[in-house]
């Protein structure tokens, strides 16, 4: 996991959820919706995905105040076939739209064996593992995609075109050990760059380029991040834009209002959630046993470097989650200051 290095403080995850939910409720969200978004954000921090955690709270609150995020959207679900539906997020919190799409995909999959739900009129939805793992825990294969405004420089280009356009694949294992690949199609999520700006620390020169298309270590100068895996990640990001944009006519890449541009501008983001019922093919328990056996064999491979473990997708996050539950969630000191200011503005006491 690509991370920045900065001074940090540790805070109990439960207290962070309470603080975040209260802030969002004060900002206008319904209590249940505020709790869901808070769980999504804190869960990202617990899993070590700090780019999609609490550092985004102040941004969300600013967009709610300026009108580009509706605090109480009228989310609509429309079925198109036995296994197909769409969710209109009504420009509410993206977590609410993607959660509704996840729930509908599960219903469709239980009824017909597979469920695919396209999302429109959404906003930033946080880490996709939050949704993919819900599907896996219901004994199904999960597929989750979303996109964003121009942030990633195509292979061999100088300027950004697609977003970081993440994907998530999830499959149920045994004893809570589920496979979950949740990754941006860029070397690093843009929000990791944003966290580096907040914490005032440099970034590795391999991550990003400036306005001239040249490598930079200054996060404030970044105008595009590089794709993961060269031309392969570049092409994958473009295809995810197709999945998330064109099914419902949502904008793509350069035509999506920037996340960190005009905060009063609605973003019209899309997404796609899929669930495949494993039980239609074989017993879910047998499938999970196969996953567990594969994980064990994977971990047991001979290491190229003695100090670098061989991990299956989601293993590092599961280990990090346990440690952070025990020791507290580390938050950058400047991120804490920003959260304290946000809480003060909303009349919510920081749990420091």
pLDDT of 197 reads 92
Give the per-residue SS3 of the chain. CCCCCCCEEEECHHHHHHHHHHHHHHCCCCHHHHHHHHHHHHHHHHCCCHHHCHHHHHHHHHHHHHCCCECCCCCEEEEEECCEEEEECCCECHHHHHHHHHHHHHHHHHHHCEEEEEEEEECCCCCCHHHHHHHHCCCEEEEEEECCCCCECCCCCCCCCECCCCEEEEEEEECCEEEEEEECCECCCHHHHHHHHHHCCCCCCCCEECCCCCECCCHHHCCEECECCCHHHHHHHHHHHHHHHCCCCCCCHHHCCCCCCCCCCCCCEEEEEEEEEHHHCCCHHHHHHHHHHHHHHHHCCCCCCCCCCCCCCCHHHHHHHHHHHHHCEEEEHHHHHHHHHHHHHHCCCCCC
Distance separating alpha carbons of residues 267 and 244, to the nearest angstrom: 13
pLDDT of 6 reads 73
pLDDT of 1 reads 57
Tokens of 154: 């195509």
Tokens of 301: 């491979």
pLDDT of 3 reads 66
pLDDT of 270 reads 98
List domains and CATH numbers for the chain: 73-315 (3.30.1370.60)
Where the chain has pLDDT below 50, the residues are: none
Tokens of 151: 């942030």
């Amino acid at each position: 996991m690509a991370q920045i290095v900065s001074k940090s403080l540790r805070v109990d995850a439960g207290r962070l959820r309470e603080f975040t939910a209260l802030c969002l409720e004060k900002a206008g969200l319904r209590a249940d919706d505020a709790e869901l978004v808070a769980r999504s954000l804190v869960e990202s921090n617990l899993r070590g995905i700090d780019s999609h955690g609490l550092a985004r709270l102040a941004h969300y609150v600013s967009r709610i105040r300026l009108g580009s995020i509706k605090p109480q959207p009228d989310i609509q679900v429309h079925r198109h076939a036995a296994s197909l539906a769409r969710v209109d997020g009504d420009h509410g919190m993206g977590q609410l739209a993607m959660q509704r799409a996840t729930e509908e995909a599960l219903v469709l999959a239980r009824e017909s064996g597979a469920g695919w739900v396209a999302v429109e009129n959404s906003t930033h939805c946080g880490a996709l593992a939050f949704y993919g793992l819900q599907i896996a825990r219901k004994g199904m294969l999960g597929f989750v995609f979303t996109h964003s405004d121009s942030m990633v420089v195509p292979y061999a280009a100088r300027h950004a075109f697609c977003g970081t356009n993440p994907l998530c694949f999830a499959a149920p294992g045994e004893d809570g050990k589920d496979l979950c690949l949740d990754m941006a199609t860029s070397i690093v999520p843009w929000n990791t760059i944003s966290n580096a700006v907040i914490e005032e620390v440099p970034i590795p020169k391999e991550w990003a380029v400036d306005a001239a298309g040249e490598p930079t270590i200054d996060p404030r100068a970044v105008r595009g991040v590089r794709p993961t895996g060269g031309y392969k990640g570049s092409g994958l990001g473009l295809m995810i834009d197709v999945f998330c944009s064109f099914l419902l006519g949502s904008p793509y890449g350069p035509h999506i209002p920037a996340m960190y541009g005009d905060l009063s501008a609605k973003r019209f983001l899309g997404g796609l959630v899929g669930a495949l019922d494993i039980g239609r093919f074989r017993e879910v328990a047998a499938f999970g046993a196969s996953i567990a056996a594969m994980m064990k064999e994977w971990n047991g491979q001979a290491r190229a470097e003695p100090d670098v473990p061989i991990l299956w997708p989601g293993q590092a996050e599961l280990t990090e989650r346990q440690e952070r539950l025990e020791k507290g969630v580390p938050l950058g000191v400047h991120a804490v200051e920003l959260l304290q200011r946000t809480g003060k503005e909303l009349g919510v006491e920081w749990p420091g």
